[in-house]
Chain A
Amino acid sequence: MENRTALQRLISTPEFAPLVLLIAEIFVFWAINPAFLSVLNIGNTLAFTVELGLIALAMTMLMTSGEFDLSVGSVFGFAPVVMWTLFNTGITSLELSFLIAMGIAALIGLVSGLFVTQLKIPSFLVTLGMLLVVRGTALFITNGFPQRTWSSEGQWLAEILVGDFYIGSLRIYASLFWFIGAALLLHYVLTKTRAGNWIQASGGNPDAARARGVKVRATKIWLFILCSSMAAFAGVISSIRTAAANPNSGTGYELEVIAMVVIGGTVLTGGRGTIIGTVLGVLILRVMRNGIVLIGVPGLAYNIFIGAIILGMMSLHSWLERRHNAGVR
């Protein structure tokens, strides 16, 4: 395997296929409708992309450790509802409301993590239960009505999270920098640090990891907390940007986020994960959603394409995997 060329090594990385797909996608959409690469459209696509993207980054870490979290969509809707309800009723300041909402989200992650690691219930069941509990709570405390958020105007917290500015005519939200920062930080943690090594080992072979002194349970619990907190953070950003904290928002996001992560090359069963792949996976799905509308495909057909991409990418990953393993023996 030493005599492989740089090109062959590039092709064999799990990020290569999603990269090619993304480039092809962008090219096709642009060829059919040049407005796809217009400044306005890029700005619009980016704004929503980073909100799901933030969750996908945390989910990548959690899935690498061999677990996943279905409650992120509910937390995405629930956290801003908590924050704005506290603020609008005049109970506390916006800053404190934000911290309380984040704290509750972290607590949700902690509880999921404890159920999974201490009671040894599969994360599918634990977080499915949590999904319903959290969504139900959001609906209950709001009676199903959206919370108004227009009073975020002029709040420094809102500016830091999603303040917008223009580069030329390209409208950029501050959330883009949160996403880039989170991606760089988590990529570093996953590939370069002891924590990253433990995350991969916890997903790859938990028994072996435990025997070597790796704190597998603590690692997973922290990742559940991270995932839930990131979902809450994304939900708050989204509520400020769209000026609405809807208790129903985020429905179905959990599956879209997991799809982004696996399309990027992270393995559902754990052990191997890639932040770069997830960034590509996030872009692939968001560009697809935006592009098919622009080229005149009915938006309702979106899921057909997403499903086809997932099936296609999974086949490709599995084929590359087998070829890779056969080649190096």
Chain B
Amino acid sequence: MAGELIRMDHIHKYYGRIHALDDVTFTVGEREIVGLLGDNGAGKSTLIKTLSGAVPISSGDIYVRGRKVVIGSTTDAIAHGIETIYQDSALVTQLSIARNLFLGREPVKGPWFFNRLDDEAMNAVASDLLRRVGITKSIPPTTPIGALSGGERQAVAIARAMHFESDLIILDEPTNNLGVAEVQGVLNFVRSARDSGHSCIFIAHNIHHVFQVVDRIVVMRRGKVVADDVDPKKSSVERVERIITGMDEVA
């Protein structure tokens, strides 16, 4: 781990009178996979939404590589290299894998008026990316997303984030509703993303999935960070469960 990629400093978020984030300080290092855990309503979704530009923060500062940034929309977040992958929602099921990968940033060729999509280039890059992200089955890049399984869709979304040089990939419940083999697939995609230089925030209800893949665990409860440096190699699932439920306070 070399240096700090993201720093969220003393973040507060109010929804009316509800104090959803209470003085949260949260960091992600370069090439680090951070597991974000907490019970329902602990504030982890809110934290992620502020970072991905879906909701504005009430107060506090966000830094990317030490530079202060303002994230007011998802477009801002993407421009700062922060990509959030929600299950299913990020892809257009009717379009092909390649078209989804390049949606909004399509390569075109030909003169100005008759410009057309460079399908060959898109398909070539898509095939390559699918291999890099670790899809072993041969899936043609022209396959519509609607024909893919949940795990494969996650893979496409991760591949897209990797290709467009997102520094931080946020995965919100990527293993929900997936079969056992597919969960392992997604965990592998996350590892390969880190190995190629990306950082990840991994949110999941299933602590066992988190333990398998992350470098560090951050636990939130009632809008506060209650533990931010749990090492999954030195800690146990049971202990983290106790922190989540508040039976075991840590400093």
Chain A positions within 8 Å of B, measured between CB atoms, are 1-2, 188, 192-194, 196-197, 200-201, 203-205, 207-214, 271-272, 325, 328-329
> Taking the nearest CB of chain A, how far is it from the CB of B99, in angstroms?
6
Contact: A205 with B104, CB < 8 Å? no
Smallest CB gap from B157: residue in A: A208
List 17 additional contacts besides A188-B116, A205-B89, A214-B103; criterion CB under 8 Å: A1-B140, A1-B147, A2-B138, A193-B108, A193-B117, A197-B117, A201-B92, A201-B103, A204-B92, A204-B93, A208-B91, A208-B92, A209-B92, A211-B74, A211-B78, A213-B105, A271-B92
A211 and B108 contact, Cβ closer than 8 Å, known pairs A194-B117, A325-B147, A329-B147: no
Q: Is B106 on the interface with A (CB-CB < 8 A)?
A: yes
A-B contact pairs, 20 of them (CB 8 A): A2-B140, A192-B116, A192-B119, A194-B117, A200-B92, A200-B95, A201-B92, A203-B94, A204-B92, A204-B95, A205-B89, A205-B91, A208-B90, A208-B103, A209-B92, A211-B74, A213-B75, A214-B103, A271-B92, A328-B147
Of A205, A212, A271, the contact of B105 (CB 8 Å cutoff): A212
B59 interface contact, C-beta 8 A:
no
Query: Given A193-B117, A194-B115, A325-B146, A272 and B92 touching (CB < 8 A)?
Result: no
Alpha-carbon distance between A203 and B93 when the two chains are bound, in angstroms: 11
The answer to whether A194 touches B106, judged by C-beta atoms less than 8 angstroms apart, is yes
Write out the residue numbers on chain B whose beta carbons fall within 8 Å of the beta carbon of A1. 140, 143, 147
Whether B149 sits at the interface, judged by CB under 8 Å, is yes
Flag if B95 contacts A197 (CB, 8 Å).
yes
A182 to B131, CA, bound (A): 40
A271 touches B93 (CB 8 A): yes
Summarize B's interface: helix, strand, loop or mixed. Answer: loop
Residues of B within 8 A of A196 (CB): 117
Please, how many angstroms separate the alpha-carbon atoms of A212 and B73 in the complex?
A: 12
Closest 3 CB pairs of A and B: A212-B104, A213-B104, A204-B92
Write the nearest CB–CB distance from B34 to chain A, whole angstroms. Answer: 22
Give the nearest-CB partner of A271 in chain B: B94
Residues from chain A with Cβ under 8 Å of B106 in the complex: 194, 197
User: Chain B 141-180, CB within 8 Å of chain A: the 1/0 string?
Assistant: 0010011010000000000000000000000000000000
Indicate with 1 or 0, residue by residue over B186-209, a CB within 8 angstroms of chain A CB atoms: 000000000000000000000000
Chain B minimum-CB-distance residue to A201? B92
With contacts A209-B103, A214-B104 taken as known, whether A200 is within 8 angstroms of B94 at the C-beta atoms is yes
